[in-house]
Amino acid sequence: MKKIAVLTSGGDAPGMNAAVRAVVRKAIFEGLEVAGIYNGYQGLIEGKIENMELGSVGDIIQRGGTMLRSARCPEFRTVEGRDKAVEQIKAQGIEGLVVIGGDGSFKGAYELTKLGIPCVCVPATIDNDINGTEFTIGFDTALNTIIEAIDKIRDTATSHERTFIIEVMGRDAGDLALWAGLAGGAETILIPEEKYDIDDIVERLASGTGRGKKHSIIIVAEGVMSANELANILRETADIDIRYSVLGHVQRGGSPSVRDRVIASQFGSRAVEVLLTGQGGKAIGMQKHQVIDYNLEDVFTDDHDIDMKMYKLSQELSI
């Protein structure tokens, strides 16, 4: 293998830049040529490809977002779109591809691998919802952003003796809500993976007030319902002074945490090592503090599981 390429795709995540840097530097260290593909699969189809040097990825390890830009590309879901991508790859002499993104991007990489282009995938999404890896790049930074917001909201919630609902991202996955809720001492955490009961929420709020609590924090993942909807339901059910806050895309930005920079560096480097063995159709991940590689099929077979022990713990500690 003489030349590889790297792209970022899907929802961006803090630490993607650190992963791009690791891929480029590791490839050059191993004597490979390396190209950067701009705007994900869209840029691949359009041939937005540039050769990268050591300096191309200087001064980016600390930056959020992705210097390669990201995109969602409906055309790549079609056979014709993917054929155009393969043509571009061949025209550029690229023999392997590192795809940095979420599970949608991984599906695209799987299709490309089936067309004879070995792809290795690096998990990067704030949602932490990729099967086979305990952590994805961006999750830790997003959690730190959420915690900062919870702590600030707690100040004003206490001053006014209010209940606050904080809506976090996660359409299908509750990891952000669960981890942030546990770390932020939330009274109630609503996640897409678990049923909720409005009467139970109201009871918990009342019991907190009964023992003199000055405020309550409820974390809701966007996939359950909007914070506004939940506030209306609670107001109809009980006489509660309630406010809400939607954190939105602020969770996707910001300088990556130490943890995200470190795993991004490890994952990016390992992806190049796997490509060098000639293997495609692989994902990189973390299990029990070890960087691992595994088959992309294993990402798609199961539904993403929530850590139920952690969910129970959050309930036990917020009585």
Q: Does 11 bind ligand F6P (CB under 6 A)?
A: yes
* Sites of contact with ligand ADP (CB under 6 A): 9-11, 41, 72-73, 76-77, 101-105, 107-108, 111, 125
Which of 6/169 has CB closer to ligand F6P?
Answer: 169
Binding ligand F6P (rule: CB under 6 A), the pick from 101, 170, 254, 268 is: 170
Kindly state whether residue 169 participates in binding ligand F6P, applying the rule CB under 6 A: yes
Does position 92 interact with ligand F6P (CB under 6 A)? The reply is no
Which residue in 25, 84, 252, 282 binds ligand F6P (CB under 6 A)?
Answer: 252
Residue 252 binding partner per list ligand ADP, ligand F6P, none, with a CB distance cut-off of 5 to 8 Å that depends on partner kind: ligand F6P
Per-residue three-class SS string for the chain? CCEEEEEECCCCCCCHHHHHHHHHHHHHHCCCEEEEECCHHHHHHHCCEEECCHHHHCCCCCCCCCCCCCCCCHHHHCHHHHHHHHHHHHHCCCCEEEEEECHHHHHHHHHHHHCCCCEEEEEECCCCCCCCCCCCECHHHHHHHHHHHHHHHHHHHHHHCCEEEEEECCCCCCHHHHHHHHHCCCCEEECCCCCCCHHHHHHHHHHHHHCCCCCEEEEEECCCCCHHHHHHHHHHHCCCCEEEEECHHHHHCCCCCHHHHHHHHHHHHHHHHHHHCCCCCEEEEEECCEEEEEECHHHHHCCCCCCHHHHHHHHHHCC
Can you tell me the distance from the alpha carbon of 265 to that of 270, in angstroms, rounded to the nearest whole number? 9
Residue closer to ligand F6P, measured from CB, 187 or 222: 222
Among candidate residues 59, 83, 103, 127, the one labeled active-site is 127
Q: State which residue, 171 or 312, has the beta carbon closest to ligand F6P.
A: 171
Kindly tell me which of 84 and 106 has the beta carbon lying closer to ligand F6P: 106
CA triplet 156, 158, 161: central angle to 5 degrees? 105
> Does the annotation mark 127 as catalytic?
yes
Query: Is residue 219 at the binding interface for ligand F6P, with CB under 6 A as the rule?
Result: no
Between 125 and 266, name the residue whose CB sits nearer to ligand ADP: 125
Only segment of 30-38, 143-151, 168-176, 287-295 that touches ligand F6P (CB under 6 A): 168-176
Smallest distance from the beta carbon of 86 to ligand F6P, in angstroms? 27
**Number of residues in contact with ligand F6P under rule CB under 6 A:** 10
- Please, what is the minimum distance in Å from the beta carbon of residue 82 to ligand ADP? 7
- Residue ranges in contact with ligand F6P by CB under 6 A: 11, 102, 125-127, 169-171, 222, 252
Which residues are known to be catalytic? 127
